[in-house]
Amino acid sequence: MSKRLIGAVAAIGLLAVAGCGNGGDTNGSGSGDSGGGKSEVEVFSWWTGGGEAKGLEAMVKDFGKKQPDIAFKNAAVAGGSGTNAKAILESRLQSNDPPDSFQGHAGAELQDYIKAGRLEDLNSFYDEQGLRDTFPEQLVEQITFEGKIYSVPVNIHRSNVLWYNPAVLTEAGITAPATTVEEFITQLKTIKEKTGKIPISLGAQWTADHLLESVLLGDLGTDGYNALWAKGGDWASADVTKALDHFKQIVEMANTEAASTDWQAAAKNVVDGKAAYVIMGDWADGYFRELGKKPDVDYRWAASPGTDGTYMWLSDSFTLPKGAPHKDAAIEWLKECASKEGQDLFNPAKGSIPARKDADVSLYKDYLAWALEEWKSNDLAGSFWHGVTANNKWHTDIDTAVGLFLQSKDVGKFQTSLVDAAKNGGQV
């Protein structure tokens, strides 16, 4: 199956989340005038702290230099992945009081908003700004839904990263991280037997969902994994059964306190020398640095087992809602999000890489330098947990199936639940 066909069917836009506050000037003119001859643009996000807030601040400063007559209204609201902002945004959209632009994860999570007619398509914007050439072709394919694009990616995160403690591997007599899922399972057993330390660290249930997508990709390969999210994808296949059995074996080697531990504590086990491995997105690198840990000393990284050469991606993006009160100003904000200057200011602070192909490589160090090179050459697969390939209902149904599996460890029932989830919520 071609990547273009897969992208057009399976991946669509961006996560409809973020925001707080009132709608500002809601005269509906679309001109951007807010009184006194000065325009404003109200932008929703959940970037309220740490590197993401610093990155947004840098991008807003650059926007101010380019557009001195547009006042930036920061409508950010705290809450990881837009948890709190989602309800506020939904209320505003239903009340016909949209912000001028809002942040969300690029991908199928936007499906409900697209079908409800709440977003402007950005095809003409992409053409005018030359973004079909600026962004990788596969990325454009995977954010296209029924021939239209609804989001502007400002960054790229990677989901399928294997973080490891080199000292723990050495203690177990392991010279390099595993490159296949089967080899990984063997290593986990060796680590447990020889060191008594946690072979692989897990946290709250969503970290198991996150692990699942890497195991599926590792066993099925890029085309096989991508095909699962397209219409007719075969979740009942023997290959999926094998991957789910491997997932079971890996989960059984994880720390027992996982259910009550979030991702930070699970990742910290690795850099503190309590665990050998964790499979987590590349935001872990920023967290490790906040802890004062040193790359290549306290931790190292590789593609998750079996996925070398494939970049399982997710992206923070911005949209243009229909009825945006300051449409012209919102378009200028989208230009900033898409620009080389904006992305190179934002991403080193955020701990992510630009979606653009022409980044200033000198700005990206250590892990980010590696990720940038991988992004340029790897095939792409979308993260289901982080909104690229699964719509909201499908996402929820998979999470429910994972939760039941973690209790029963019954692979057969798990696979049946995943088959049902695909039929009932996804593969549209």
Model confidence at 34: pLDDT above 90: no
- Beta partners for residue 200, in sequence order: 254, 277
- Where is average pLDDT lowest: 38-47, 303-312, 398-407? 38-47
Chain mean position to CA 323: 27
Cα distance between residue 344 and residue 348, in whole Å = 7
Model confidence at 382: pLDDT above 60: yes
Model confidence at 209: pLDDT above 50: yes
What share of the chain in percent tops pLDDT 70?
89
Model confidence at 59: pLDDT above 70: yes
- Beta partners for residue 145, in sequence order: 148
The reported pLDDT for the residue numbered 87 is 77
Q: Regarding predicted confidence, which is higher, 5 or 370? A: 370
Three-state SS string across the chain, please?
CCHHHHHHHHCCCECCCCCCCCCCCCCCCCCCECCCCCEEEEEECCCCCHHHHHHHHHHHHHHHHHCCCEEEEECCCCCHHHHHHHHHHHHHHHCCCCCCEEEEEECHHHHHHHHCCCECCCHHHHHHHCHHHHCCHHHHHHCEECCEECCEECCEEECCEEEECHHHHHHCCCCCCCCCHHHHHHHHHHHHHHHCCEEECCCCHHHHHHHHHHHHHHHHHHHHHHHHCCCCCCCCCHHHHHHHHHHHHHHCCECCCHHHCCHHHHHHHHHCCCEEEEECCCHHHHHHHHCCCCECCCEEEEECCCCCCEEEEECEEECCECCCCCHHHHHHHHHHHHCHHHHHHHHHHHCCECCCCCCCHHHCCCHHHHHHHHHHHCEEEECCCCCCCCCHHHHHHHHHHHHHHHHHCCHHHHHHHHHHHHHHHCCC
Model confidence at 364: pLDDT above 60: yes
CA dihedral 382, 388, 390, 395 (to 10 degrees): 110
Q: What is the mean pLDDT of residues 81-110?
A: 85
With cut-offs at 50, 70 and 90, classify the pLDDT of residue 83.
low
Chain mean position to CA 210: 10
Model confidence at 2: pLDDT above 60: no
Q: What is the mean pLDDT of residues 211-222?
A: 98
The reported pLDDT for the residue numbered 258 is 67
Q: What is the mean pLDDT of residues 371-386?
A: 94
With cut-offs at 50, 70 and 90, classify the pLDDT of residue 29.
very low
With cut-offs at 50, 70 and 90, classify the pLDDT of residue 176.
very high
The reported pLDDT for the residue numbered 388 is 93
Model confidence at 37: pLDDT above 80: no
With cut-offs at 50, 70 and 90, classify the pLDDT of residue 426.
low
Q: What is the mean pLDDT of residues 238-245?
A: 98
Of the chain, the end-to-end C-alpha distance in Å amounts to 17
Model confidence at 208: pLDDT above 80: yes
Model confidence at 278: pLDDT above 80: yes
The reported pLDDT for the residue numbered 80 is 59
pTM: 0.85
Model confidence at 183: pLDDT above 50: yes
Average predicted confidence (pLDDT) for the chain: 89
Model confidence at 21: pLDDT above 80: no
Model confidence at 96: pLDDT above 60: yes
Q: What is the mean pLDDT of residues 350-374?
A: 95
With cut-offs at 50, 70 and 90, classify the pLDDT of residue 5.
very low
Task: List, in order of start, the domains of the chain with CATH numbers.
Answer: 3-156+316-367 (3.40.190.10), 158-312+387-425 (3.40.190.10)
Q: What is the mean pLDDT of residues 178-201?
A: 98
Q: Regarding predicted confidence, which is higher, 10 or 427? A: 427
The reported pLDDT for the residue numbered 77 is 86
The reported pLDDT for the residue numbered 1 is 42
Model confidence at 11: pLDDT above 50: no
